[in-house]
Structure 1
Amino acid sequence: MTAIFVIPLSLAALRMSPLDLSRLPEQAALLSAMVNMPEGSIELLESRFRDRLDQEYRTQGEESEVEPYISDWPDEENPDLEPPPASSQPSPSVNEEEEPVVTDPSPAKDPPPEIPEEYRGTLLQENMAGTAKNLLRYGAGKLRNYTDEPDSEIVEIMEQGMNLTLERTDAPQVLIFHTHATESYEPYDSETYDTRNTWRDTDNHKNMVAVGNALEQVLSDAGIGVVHDTTQHDYPSYNGSYERSAETIKSYLEKYPTIKIALDVHRDAIQRESDLIVKPVVEINGRKAAQLMIITGCEDGTMGVPEWRQNLRFAASLQDAVEQDYPQLTRPIFFCYRKYNMDLTTGSLLLEIGSNANTLDESIYSAELIGNSLAKLLLANMEQAEE
């Protein structure tokens, strides 16, 4: 805990002479990501992303850092944190178009819970569908390029369209699992929150397993074979979560060679200040839905994901399908130099459904909507292949 917070801020202080308060959030975010990289490669991250922090992105309230996972479980070792690289700004989008109006959702509906003032934080809800001009486009979807891959090449890959075709079989073709199953949500749709909340829960009725259940049900109802693994890979120890989930994926691929898609369902965490967290939310059919952020990785020679282009095509196709059905339900795709077990299939994606500031109800609703769009996409692509 001390290393996570004190070291980045100390390094930031040392590097700022004189102190530049306007850049403190940027520097802290960059240095925190460097310190927590599992590979421990501060020099690599500095050289790759030096002077590329996206101020517009942060001032618009669209931070998209993967949950820092401050574990409330007892661990003797340091957590194997998996944050993405610090924000970098892509070059202008190849396909510029007029942005739709992004409106914030209606006010919180639940009365504030009784929280002692010293533990009371601010919860800010925002529509984070993305309005920056430097977003890359495919259909109705958007992507933020946090890599050195040329924007034109990324767009060209996305425009190749859907890369997966399901078969007419009752066997499982979709695997849903949770590297961090114990992630949980806020208990209230409120403007305040309890700063003592860890947003972790081993009760599968209250954590990511419940969200995965909703996604599984929709796909199954559509006639798509699904297997949902409910293993809590992050409990009792957070250490090695991705290694353990990798073994789980491999075991299912061996048991069911028909599996083509592996979805790792998480939730994000967006903390702008020490006592301010953000809820990405949009209203769909008069009901609040937690916004989805798809994460897909890229290869830089060290990731070991040679088929990353196939995952990117799937990510772009899925987001386009969701956005066509439910405009502004998604945040821009997070395209970065990360692995997240995406080397194991060509249909591997990490889905961040909401953040710790969303409610479980909002996230389950989103999973149902996402499932509707995914099922329609997969079935339409299968029928097209059969023609």
Structure 2
Amino acid sequence: MSGRARKLAAAGALLLGVKAAALCGAGAALSGWVDELVDSGRIVSASLRLELGAGTEPSPSPALPAVLATPEAGGGASPSAAPEESPDASAAAQYNDEGARIVPTTIYSGLSIRNSTSFDIDVAALVAAGPTQTLPAEGPQVLIVHTHGSEAYTPDAMDSYVETDTDRTEDKNYNVIRVGDELAAALEAKGISALHDREIYDYPSYTGSYNRSGASVERYLAEYPNIAVVIDLHRDALGDGEVIYKTVAELDGKASSQLMMLVGTGESGLYHPNWEQNLRLALYLQQAVNAKYPTLARPISVVKERYNQQLSTGMFILEVGSNGNSLQEAITAVRLFADAVSPALLELREQV
């Protein structure tokens, strides 16, 4: 690990001992809804309820609070008060085309995870160990793919589209593939070589989308075996039909959604030996994001399902915004993400 990577790991381990999730004045009903949704693991997009295209939601996980590592506890993880969402009461009411109210929401993080598994995850130890990935000096370094490429955002005056389904479109100018375009360009501008798979895998059939995207990832890794990071970029869905929560990063002068990294494990019973390596990378990148844009990232979600992440030692899902956000807010988020993580990724580059 390079000097900067070691410094980030050490700083993160220290930060874990003092960082607490900020609590904001959400109403009791909203707080209860958010706590139930987050702790049960159901805050993940409905599209991510599918493991390899299965059409049913996984059984709810035991309620587990946010996990913050504490050095005083010997590096083990200890529960922290669950970060609450803070709706912006001063914002004018906004509704989508179906009449659902869109509520601006900030989900506070720090360097924390939402653990929906039964695994006892020693976050401090993972942070101290740092990432295992090495970016190649030449050739593609990052692969961006979209298992659910038709996922889209709330239309507005700037970005209006014809829906293929609710909050979805096959028009690549307006769905998450456009967001992937922007992420790839932003990484390239910072010196990171990025490949972007622009195929849609959830149409014409939503079932089997993970099988199809997984096969594509395997093909890319066979052709470019030195790719170090694989990002499956999605859009989250937060709400109950009557209310949709739009994630908001509190950044001066920029309208940005939040984003969230999701790391799968093997607890579902499917083979996944490298999930801790994926989590170490996610924690490393979360540190970099928090250092530059403290409210941009939501807590890392750790779940039972593996979501194709067994294919790489550096793979995670990146949820950019929610169905309550606009496309431009999502684009801003990935540009900021690239700005924050690129220096950290370059520290992992192979020395020649």
Q: Which amino acid aligns with 1:215?
A: L
In structure 2, the residue matched to 1:41 is none
Report the alpha carbon displacement of residue 207 of structure 1 after superposing the two structures with TM: 0.1
2:106 aligned with 1:127, yes or no? yes
Report the alpha carbon displacement of residue 157 of structure 1 after superposing the two structures with TM: 2.2
Q: Does structure 2 conserve the Cα–Cα contact (< 8 Å) formed by 1:303 and 1:337?
A: no
Report the alpha carbon displacement of residue 111 of structure 1 after superposing the two structures with TM: 7.2
2:150 aligned with 1:182, yes or no? yes
In structure 2, the residue matched to 1:165 is 134
Structure 1 CA distance, aligned partners of 2:212 and 2:179?
Answer: 20
Q: Secondary structure of 1:343's match?
A: helix
In structure 1, the residue matched to 2:7 is none
CA pair 350-92 structure 1, distance change in 2 beyond 3 A:
closer
Report the alpha carbon displacement of residue 89 of structure 1 after superposing the two structures with TM: 1.2
Structure 1 CA distance, aligned partners of 2:226 and 2:351?
Answer: 18
In structure 2, the residue matched to 1:309 is 276
Percent sequence identity is 32
1:293-308 map, 5 Å: 293-300=260-267, 302-308=269-275
Report the alpha carbon displacement of residue 55 of structure 1 after superposing the two structures with TM: 7.5
In structure 2, the residue matched to 1:354 is 321
Q: Secondary structure of 2:107's match?
A: coil
Q: Secondary structure of 1:141's match?
A: coil
Q: Which amino acid aligns with 2:64?
A: Q
Q: Secondary structure of 2:289's match?
A: helix
2:124 aligned with 1:146, yes or no? no
2:190 aligned with 1:211, yes or no? no
246, 250, 259: which one pairs with 2:218? 250
Q: Secondary structure of 1:381's match?
A: coil
Q: Does structure 2 conserve the Cα–Cα contact (< 8 Å) formed by 1:305 and 1:342?
A: yes
234, 255, 263: which one pairs with 2:231? 263
Report the alpha carbon displacement of residue 165 of structure 1 after superposing the two structures with TM: 2.0
CA pair 112-369 structure 1, distance change in 2 beyond 3 A:
same
Q: Does structure 2 conserve the Cα–Cα contact (< 8 Å) formed by 1:105 and 1:282?
A: no
Structure 1 CA distance, aligned partners of 2:69 and 2:179?
Answer: 35
Structure 2 CA distance, aligned partners of 1:61 and 1:84?
Answer: 14
Report the alpha carbon displacement of residue 293 of structure 1 after superposing the two structures with TM: 1.2
Q: Which amino acid aligns with 1:244?
A: R
Q: How many residues align?
A: 304
CA pair 206-197 structure 1, distance change in 2 beyond 3 A:
same
Structure 1: state its 5+ residue gaps: 1-24, 26-53, 71-78, 131-139, 190-195
Which 10-residue stretch deviates more, 121-130 or 85-94? 85-94
Structure 2 CA distance, aligned partners of 1:62 and 1:281?
Answer: 22
37, 46, 49: which one pairs with 1:68? 46
280, 296, 301: which one pairs with 1:329? 296
Report the alpha carbon displacement of residue 65 of structure 1 after superposing the two structures with TM: 2.5
Q: Which amino acid aligns with 1:209?
A: I
Q: Secondary structure of 1:159's match?
A: helix
Structure 2: state its 5+ residue gaps: 1-28, 71-77, 158-163
Q: Does structure 2 conserve the Cα–Cα contact (< 8 Å) formed by 1:187 and 1:360?
A: yes
TM-score by length of 1: 0.70
CA pair 237-155 structure 1, distance change in 2 beyond 3 A:
same
Report the alpha carbon displacement of residue 381 of structure 1 after superposing the two structures with TM: 3.2
Report the alpha carbon displacement of residue 63 of structure 1 after superposing the two structures with TM: 7.3
Structure 2 CA distance, aligned partners of 1:277 and 1:172?
Answer: 37
Structure 2 CA distance, aligned partners of 1:245 and 1:82?
Answer: 19
Report the alpha carbon displacement of residue 110 of structure 1 after superposing the two structures with TM: 9.1
1:1-387 map, 5 Å: 57-58=35-36, 65-69=43-47, 80-81=54-55, 83=57, 86-87=60-61, 88-90=63-65, 93-95=68-70, 107-108=90-91, 119-130=98-109, 140-151=110-121, 153-169=122-138, 171-188=139-156, 198-271=166-239, 273-300=240-267, 302-382=269-349, 386=351
Q: Does structure 2 conserve the Cα–Cα contact (< 8 Å) formed by 1:110 and 1:188?
A: no
Q: Does structure 2 conserve the Cα–Cα contact (< 8 Å) formed by 1:294 and 1:352?
A: yes
Q: Which amino acid aligns with 1:121?
A: A
Q: Which amino acid aligns with 2:107?
A: M
* Structural RMSD (CA): 3.4
Structure 1 CA distance, aligned partners of 2:285 and 2:278?
Answer: 10
Structure 1 CA distance, aligned partners of 2:156 and 2:90?
Answer: 12
TM-score by length of 2: 0.76
CA pair 107-264 structure 1, distance change in 2 beyond 3 A:
farther
Report the alpha carbon displacement of residue 58 of structure 1 after superposing the two structures with TM: 3.0
CA pair 341-121 structure 1, distance change in 2 beyond 3 A:
same
Report the alpha carbon displacement of residue 60 of structure 1 after superposing the two structures with TM: 8.9
Cα deviation 1:86-124 (Å, max 9, x = unaligned):
2521486442799999865585579768x6xxx422111
Report the alpha carbon displacement of residue 61 of structure 1 after superposing the two structures with TM: 11
Q: Which amino acid aligns with 1:308?
A: W
Report the alpha carbon displacement of residue 319 of structure 1 after superposing the two structures with TM: 1.0
Structure 2 CA distance, aligned partners of 1:222 and 1:210?
Answer: 19
Structure 2 CA distance, aligned partners of 1:102 and 1:90?
Answer: 14
CA pair 204-324 structure 1, distance change in 2 beyond 3 A:
same
Structure 1 CA distance, aligned partners of 2:189 and 2:66?
Answer: 42
